[in-house]
């Protein structure tokens, strides 16, 4: 599709929606973002932007803005939960392009994107909840307030509970993984270095990394449990259950947990990757297409890659072929990342102390004798350059 004079409507003003709005606007489309919330804002939490996501921000002209707001990650340090001894260290300076893995506050990334989208001339309309989408030429949108609108292309970037995915794929019930995640940001009381620490315990793990020049620490703490919790950050918890779930973790973890006030609590669900990503005049991206468990820290990075790929495919080909090519380029890669994240939790949560010790010992030995190999297992994720591929 030629972008000039074409109207693109993006449903959802999250990381994926804002990135695709900018990518389409930069190519000349008339862009409207419909967001259900009354303000575009993010939960107080951090996010890891890996080199594959950064390449997209660079291509959008936002790489420096991200670097100005983020901390460069030096390593991932896997640790035993109780004593806190390091089991394995992945030195991120060994990545092909050192200094390209970042930790950033989600609100800072969203602000950067919103500013760029507004400056580009794209429109963002708030309090616009989309209730139905009908593929067609033009595709049609129904809003909860009774309004209707349409566009040459409607992009469903409406996250986990996507209405647009439903229109293309029907309803699919997610499966509770029997894991919950608490999320909190606390002051950096423990002189936490610029690395992601993963403390691994039986049935639980806790990830911490710094934000905002090291002034704050982002905490994500995952626990296996049988009772169901909703899949939404709007559910806040008291600090005590989080502290008590991790009370036998190392003293530096206790110091961080002591500073938690009102953590968000999120039930972790497995959703299938959408089978159909596109229809006449409609496409999906981000969590709407491929919700993922957080164990590879790739959800937002995939959404950024999707955004670039979709705009680049539309620039190259007329619409039906462009959307088919987009799904073809993206679906297998995203499904592989989602499957890798699905398979990761058990490695952190080994319950049998003998098996855990043996596994940690093996990891440590491998990390010492073949550090480059340990990191190279993620090359297919981090070295991927969607801006070259698409």
Ligand X SMILES: Cc1cc2nc3c(=O)[nH]c(=O)nc-3n(C[C@H](O)[C@H](O)[C@H](O)COP(=O)(O)OP(=O)(O)OC[C@H]3O[C@@H](n4cnc5c(N)ncnc54)[C@H](O)[C@@H]3O)c2cc1C
Interface residue list for ligand X (CB under 6 A): 11-17, 34-37, 47-48, 128-130, 157-160, 163, 181, 183, 220, 266, 286-288, 294, 297-301, 303
Residue 353 Cβ, how far from ligand X at the closest point, in Å? 27
Look up residue 137 and give its DSSP letter.
Answer: S
CB of 365 to ligand X, least distance (A): 28
Residue 23 has, within 13 A of its CA and on its CB side, a CA count of 27
Q: Which is nearer to ligand X, 144 or 365 (CB)?
A: 144
Tell me whether residue 82 is exposed, middle or buried, using C-beta atoms within 10 angstroms of its C-beta: 0 to 12, 13 to 18, 19 or more: middle
Measuring CA to CA, which residue among 296, 217, 295, 232 is closest to residue 264?
232
Q: CA 253: distance to chain centroid?
A: 24
Q: Which is nearer to ligand X, 9 or 374 (CB)?
A: 9
For residue 101, how many other CB atoms are within 10 A of its CB?
26
d(CA 78, CA 89): 6
For residue 239, CA distances in Å to 264, 322, 338 come to: 9, 48, 30
How far CA 128 is from CA of 34, 147, 234, in Å, comes to 6, 9, 19
CB 215 within 8 A of CB 103: no
State which residue, 26 or 50, has the beta carbon closest to ligand X.
50
Question: CA–CA distance from 102 to each of 46, 115, 206, 262, 377 (Å)?
Answer: 10, 20, 19, 25, 19
CB of 50 to ligand X, least distance (A): 7
d(CA 24, CA 189): 43
Please, what is the minimum distance in Å from the beta carbon of residue 301 to ligand X? 4
How far is 85 from 88, CA to CA, in rounded Å? 9
User: How is residue 160 written in tokens?
Assistant: 């986990």
Nearest to ligand X of 181, 313 (CB atom): 181
In the complex with ligand X, the residue whose CB is nearer, 253 or 356, is: 253
CB-wise, 167 or 322, nearer to ligand X? 167
CA 82 to chain centre: 29
Q: Are the C-beta atoms of 378 and 233 separated by less than 8 Å?
A: no
Q: In the complex, what is the shortest distance from the CB of residue 124 to ligand X, in angstroms, rounded to a whole number?
A: 11
Overall size of the chain counted in residues = 390
Dmax (CA) of the chain: 65
Residue closer to ligand X by CB (options 297, 350) is 297
**What's the closest the beta carbon of residue 93 comes to ligand X, in angstroms?**
19
CB of 214 to ligand X, least distance (A): 17
Q: Which of 101/249 has CB closer to ligand X?
A: 101
In the bound complex, what is the minimum distance in angstroms from residue 329's beta carbon to ligand X? 17
Among candidate residues 101, 209, 348, 382, the one labeled active-site is 209
- State how beta strands 148-151 and 264-270 pair: unpaired
* Among the listed residues 125, 163, 167, the one whose alpha carbon sits nearest the alpha carbon of residue 31: 125
Known catalytic residue: 209?
yes
Residue labelled with tokens 């919790």: 229
Residues annotated as part of the active site: 209
């Amino acid at each position: 599709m030629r972008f000039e004079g074409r109207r693109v409507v993006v449903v959802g003003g999250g990381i994926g929606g804002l990135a695709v709005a900018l990518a389409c606007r930069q190519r000349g489309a008339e862009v409207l973002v419909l967001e259900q919330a009354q303000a575009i804002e993010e939960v107080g939490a951090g996010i890891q932007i890996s080199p594959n996501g950064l390449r997209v921000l660079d291509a959008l002209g936002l790489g420096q803005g991200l670097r100005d707001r983020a901390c460069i990650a030096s390593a991932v340090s896997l640790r035993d939960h109780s004593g806190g001894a390091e089991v394995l260290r992945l030195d991120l300076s060994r990545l092909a392009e050192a200094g390209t893995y970042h930790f950033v506050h989600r609100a800072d990334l969203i602000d950067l994107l919103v500013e760029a989208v507004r400056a580009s001339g794209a429109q963002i309309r708030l309090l616009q909840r989309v209730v139905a989408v009908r593929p067609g030429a033009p595709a049609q949108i129904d809003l909860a307030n009774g309004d209707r609108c349409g566009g040459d292309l409607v992009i469903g970037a409406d996250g986990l509970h996507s209405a647009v995915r439903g229109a293309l794929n029907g309803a699919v019930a997610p499966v509770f993984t029997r894991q919950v995640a608490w999320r909190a940001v606390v002051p950096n009381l423990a002189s936490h270095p610029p690395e992601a620490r993963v403390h691994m315990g039986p049935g639980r793990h806790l990830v911490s990394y710094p934000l905002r020049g090291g002034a704050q620490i982002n905490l994500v703490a995952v626990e296996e449990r049988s009772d169901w919790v909703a899949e939404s950050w709007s559910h806040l918890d008291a600090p005590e259950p989080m502290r008590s779930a991790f009370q036998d973790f190392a003293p530096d973890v206790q110091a961080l947990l002591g500073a938690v006030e009102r953590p968000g609590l999120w039930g972790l669900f497995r959703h299938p990757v959408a089978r159909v990503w596109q229809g006449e005049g409609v496409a999906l991206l981000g969590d709407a297409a491929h919700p993922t468990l957080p164990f590879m820290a790739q959800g937002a990075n995939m959404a950024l890659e999707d955004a670039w790929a979709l705009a680049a495919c539309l620039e190259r080909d007329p619409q039906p072929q462009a959307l088919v090519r987009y799904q073809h380029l993206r679906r297998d890669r995203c499904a592989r990342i989602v499957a890798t994240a699905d398979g990761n939790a058990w490695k952190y949560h080994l319950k049998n102390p003998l098996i855990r010790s043996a596994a940690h010992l093996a990891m440590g030995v491998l990390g010492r004798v073949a550090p480059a190999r340990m990191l190279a297992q993620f090359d297919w994720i981090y070295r991927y350059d969607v801006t070259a591929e698409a």
